[in-house]
């Protein structure tokens, strides 16, 4: 998946249309709660403006249904970006309308323009070619630095680069890094290669488990989906969250995985979904009625940590329990500590795993934290990304 990067093209005096992921969380008052996604885009942004390019940024925010609304406007994002860059950032009140077209045409070298929320136009989600062409006509080159939406076929992700014909189409630094770790490293990992998969649903990770079973040495299973596997082995799960309709599939995965698939040996459970509930640690498959599993148990945490310590490559996607609620964060904390302490390449696959590693304070001690939950899962499944395939290959 070696693609040309923004650093490979001459941007001086040219207009660069860059798709970024500014889908940031907002507080109740509309202010930005976490500017991490904006900061992650800065290297690609600065690469263009510092080399004398004219930069047009586009992103979505929230889930508007093809109609403008004040709540999901990107104007506050443009203001935060201006503060981070320490230079003026222009804002267009539309996407391909009069304001955007006029401001894009009037940009000077080194200037930045943020377009209004892409999803204010219905053509964005539908991949409308005519909408895409109007975007493409604004620029001399296209850059995709929005890994979080790389698995989608929205107009800005796929139809725009397709509409740019023989104009340069490249990845930004963020997408290049995600491909390096989530695709290239996993395609030829140093061994032992261990994957840690958690979260609530087996159904969310079916294709990931199937794909990784063919390339991993071990897959460690935690989170609520472990209880579906426990049920598939004839265990008692009490009131635990399970997917009964996926039990047959879990049986198949257990048969395929053999000793590669490592399940918890004990469970930290409670009689209510609260920090103040009555708690017990029981053997896996022996959760009593009236109790639900809320975390892997201490013995499992120790065994998982010992396996992680031997790895040369480790990928983690999904927490081991209810990491937001002590004491049921202990399993996730133990795994996070083990991943941080491991000497090999450590890749955190976005979503709740990224949130957990940040919250627990280990983000700076791992090799890579993915910015895209859904996209990272899709890449771990081994899926092709049409939005990336549409970009220029390295010579």
What amino acid positions are annotated as catalytic residues?
37, 201, 351, 374
CA 40 – CA 356 distance, rounded (Å): 18
C-alpha distances in Å from residue 331, one per residue of 61, 256, 356: 33, 26, 11
Provide the pairing of β-strand 286-287 with 141-145: unpaired
CA 147 – CA 171 distance, rounded (Å): 10
Phi, psi (degrees; rounded to nearest 5) at 279: -115, 150
CA proximity to 4, closest of 142, 137, 148, 136: 142
CA 38 – CA 21 distance, rounded (Å): 8
DSSP conformational letter for 112: E
Phi, psi (degrees; rounded to nearest 5) at 303: -65, -40
CA 289 – CA 251 distance, rounded (Å): 23
DSSP-assigned beta bridge partners for residue 348: 316, 369
CA 265 – CA 282 distance, rounded (Å): 9
């Amino acid at each position: 998946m070696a693609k040309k990067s923004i650093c490979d093209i001459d941007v001086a005096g040219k207009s660069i249309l860059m798709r970024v992921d500014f889908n940031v969380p907002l507080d109740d008052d509309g202010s930005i709660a976490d500017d991490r996604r904006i900061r992650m885009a800065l290297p690609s942004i600065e690469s263009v403006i510092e080399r004398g390019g004219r930069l047009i940024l586009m992103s979505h925010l929230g889930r508007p249904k093809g109609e403008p609304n004040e709540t999901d406007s990107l104007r506050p994002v443009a203001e935060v970006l201006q503060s981070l860059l320490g230079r003026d950032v222009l804002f267009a009140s539309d996407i391909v309308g009069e304001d955007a077209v006029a401001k894009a045409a009037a940009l000077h070298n080194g200037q930045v323009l943020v377009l209004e929320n892409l999803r204010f136009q219905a053509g964005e989600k539908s991949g409308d070619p005519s909408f895409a062409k109007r975007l493409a006509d604004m620029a001399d080159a296209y850059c995709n630095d929005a890994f979080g939406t790389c698995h989608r076929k929205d107009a800005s992700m796929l139809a725009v680069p397709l509409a740019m014909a023989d104009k340069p189409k490249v990845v930004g630094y963020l997408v290049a890094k995600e491909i390096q770790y989530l695709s290239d490293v996993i395609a030829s990992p140093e061994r032992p290669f261990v994957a840690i998969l958690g979260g609530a649903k087996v159904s969310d990770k079916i294709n990931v488990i199937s794909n990784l079973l063919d390339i991993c040495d071990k897959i460690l299973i935690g989170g609520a989906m472990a209880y579906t596997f426990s049920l598939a082995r004839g265990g008692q799960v009490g009131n635990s969250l399970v997917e009964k309709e996926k039990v047959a599939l879990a049986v198949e995965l257990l048969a395929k995985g053999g000793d590669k698939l490592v399940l918890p040996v004990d469970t930290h459970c409670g009689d209510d979904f609260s920090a103040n509930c009555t708690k017990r640690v029981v053997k896996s498959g022996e959760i009593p009625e009236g109790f639900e599993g809320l975390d892997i148990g201490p013995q499992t945490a120790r065994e998982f940590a010992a396996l992680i310590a031997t790895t040369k490559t480790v990928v983690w996607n999904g927490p081991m329990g209810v990491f937001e609620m002590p004491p049921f964060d202990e399993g996730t904390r133990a795994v996070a500590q083990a991943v941080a302490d491991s000497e090999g390449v450590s890749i955190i696959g976005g979503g709740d795993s990224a949130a957990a590693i940040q919250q627990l304070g280990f983000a700076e001690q791992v090799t890579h934290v993915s910015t895209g939950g859904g996209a990272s899962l899709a890449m771990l499944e081994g899926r092709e990304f049409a939005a990336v395939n549409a970009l220029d290959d390295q010579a």
